[in-house]
Amino acid sequence: MTGADFRTWSDRLRDVEEMLDNPRDRQETARIRDRAKAARAAFKRNSKEASWELVQSQVLKPLVELNQRVREALSHIESDQPLTPIDRDPVPRRFEDLTRRYYDKLGAGD
């Protein structure tokens, strides 16, 4: 954040942002980059270290969470055995009543 490679880091993060398909992840990436730029600007303006607790909570933690979501998305795309979504097919008629009662009991906590 305070080093000479900040611009390269910020540019790479912008590249990541442009590659993401999920609008929520794109927005989060932009927010992270903006927060990092603001912290850097404050450092340059005041010539004192940024609040590392603030940097950790507003930049590092969201960046780690974004990284995890991107890794999960990539693992689904690259998997040889893609997961089949559940509840894709309707419940067969002969099991509708049993299924409804199951979910009723499940929701009631019985």
Annotate 16-49 with b (16+ C-beta within 10 A) or e (fewer): bbeebeeeebeebbeebbebbeebbebbeeeeee
Tokens of 86: 């559940």
SS (H, E, C) 36-73: HHHHHHHHHHHCCCCCHHHHHHHHHHHHHHHHHHHHHH
Q: What is the pLDDT of residues 51-108, one digit of tens each?
A: 888 889 999 999 999 999 888 888 877 777 655 555 566 778 898 889 888 888 888 8
Which residue ranges make up each domain of the chain?
6-82
pTM over 0.75: no
The Cα-based distances of 48 to 5, 9, 43, 51, 69 in angstroms read 18, 21, 5, 9, 33
